[in-house]
Amino acid sequence: MHSKKVRWITGFAAFTCLLWVFGLGWAVKDYLIGTTSTATAPSVSEQPIAAVEQVKIVALGDSLTRGTGDIEGKGYVGYIGDMLKQKGTDISLINLGIKGLTSPGLAEQMQEKEIGRQIGQANVILMTIGGNDLFLGGQTLSDVSEASITGLEDAFLINLKAIMTSIRSVNKDATVYLLGLYNPFSEFENGALLSEVVRGWNYKTAEQLAEDPGTVFVPTYDLFQKNVNDYLFTDHFHPNEKGYQLMAERVAALITGVGGQS
C-alpha cells in the first residue's frame, strides 16, 4: 500500500539501525568489558621527504625563547624567522621553548624521543637557558650571597654540559647559538652587584661552550646595559618587542653567515 520509495527508506533505515546497534555494542564491549586484542600493528612510519635547501631552526629554552613580553608573541625566535625569510632563506622554525624552564628541566626535555629527532634534523639550534636558574623568579634579587651564587653556577654548568652532550649525540653539525643573560634589575637598589653576578655567569657559560667549536655564545648583556627600561616588558624582567628585535638582529646576522653552508 505504501510507495516503493518509503518502503525502501524504511528498510534501509532498519538496516542502518542494526549497524549502529552493532557499533554501540562493540564500543560497550571494548571499553566497558575490556579487550586484549590489538587490531593492527603500527604502520611503518614513513620518513618525511627531506626538504631541499631548507634551513631547519629549532629553538630550545625558557620564556625568552617562547617570547614572553612581546606583544606580537613572536619573541626573538619569531623575529629571526621573519628576518631570514625576508632575505629569501627557506626556513622551518620549531619553537620548543617553555616558560619557566630551568636547566635541569631542559636537560630532561632533551631525553624525549621526539625532541631528539627534531634536534637531529636541525641546522641551527637557538637556546636561552639559565635565567630561571639564576634569578629564581626574582628571589636572588633580595638575597645575593657569594656562596649561593656559586652553588647555582656549578649546578647550571653541569646541566649545560649534559644538554650539549645530548644535542651532540643526535646532531654533530648544527650550529648552537646560546644567548647570554642580561641584567633586568640593573636600575634596582643592588643592581650593580647583580650586574657583576650576571657578567660572571655569562663568562663561565661562554668558557664552557668554547669546548665545542660548533657553538656560538651570543651576548645580550650589552644590549640591555643602557636604558634598560625601554627594552623591558612591564614585568621588568622579560624584554619587550624592541628588546627582542635587538636580540634577533644580532643572532640573525650570525646565522646568515652560517646559513650558506647548509
Partner 1 sequence: MVNLVQNEMTKLVGKRRFVIISIIIIALLSMFSYAQVKQAESIKERLGTVDWRTELQQQIVDMQNRLSSAGQWREQIQIQIKQSQYYLDHDVNPAEPGAPTFMRGFVQNSAELFLPLLIMIIAVDLVSSERSMGTIKLLLTRPVSRFRILLSKYIALILSVSLVIFLFGILSYIISVIMFGNQGWSAPVLTGFSTQGDTLDISAVRLVSQWQYIIQQFGLAWFISIVVGTLSFMLSILMRSSAAGMGTMLACLIAGAILSNMVSSWDSAKYLFMVNLGLMDYVSGSAPPIEGMTLGFSLAVLAAWMLGSLIVSFTVFTRKDVY
Partner 2 sequence: MSDITLSVQGLRKVIGKRTIIKDLSFELKRGEVFGFLGPNGAGKTTTIRMLVGLIKPTSGTIQICGLDIAKNFTRAMRHLGCIVENPELYPFLTGMENLRHFAVMISGITQARIDEVVQLVGMQERMNDKVSTYSLGMRQRLGIAQALLGKPDVLILDEPTNGLDPSGIREMRAFIRFLAEEEGLTVLVSSHLLHEIQLMCDRVAIISKGEIIRVDSVQQLLSSEERLVWRLLPHELGRAVLSEQTTVLDETEETVTTTYAELLVGEWNRKLVDAGVSVLEMNRKLPALEDLFLELTGGESIG
What residues contact residue 201 under an 8 Å CB cut-off, 6+ apart?
130, 134, 153, 156, 181
Q: Does 138 bind partner 1 (CB under 8 A)?
A: no
- In 12-89 the beta strands, taken as DSSP E runs, fall at 55-61
Q: Give the contact letters, 3-22, x = binds to partner 2 (CB under 8 A), - = no.
A: x-------------------
Using the minimum distance from each CB to partner 1, give the nearer residue, 20 or 261. 20
H or E segment at 83? helix 75-86
Tell me the three cell numbers of residue 95. 619553537
Smallest distance from partner 2 to CB 1, Å:
5
Place of cell 622554525: 93
Smallest distance from partner 2 to CB 78, Å:
59
Q: Give the contact letters, 37-56, x = binds to partner 1 (CB under 8 A), - = no.
A: xxxxxxx-x--x--x--x-x
Q: Give the contact letters, 95-134, x = binds to partner 1 (CB under 8 A), - = no.
A: xxxxxx-----------xxxx-xx----------------
Half-sphere exposure of 33 (CA within 13 A, CB side): 9
In the chain, the amino acid numbered 246 is: L
Q: Which residues contribute to the site for partner 2 (CB under 8 A)?
A: 1-3
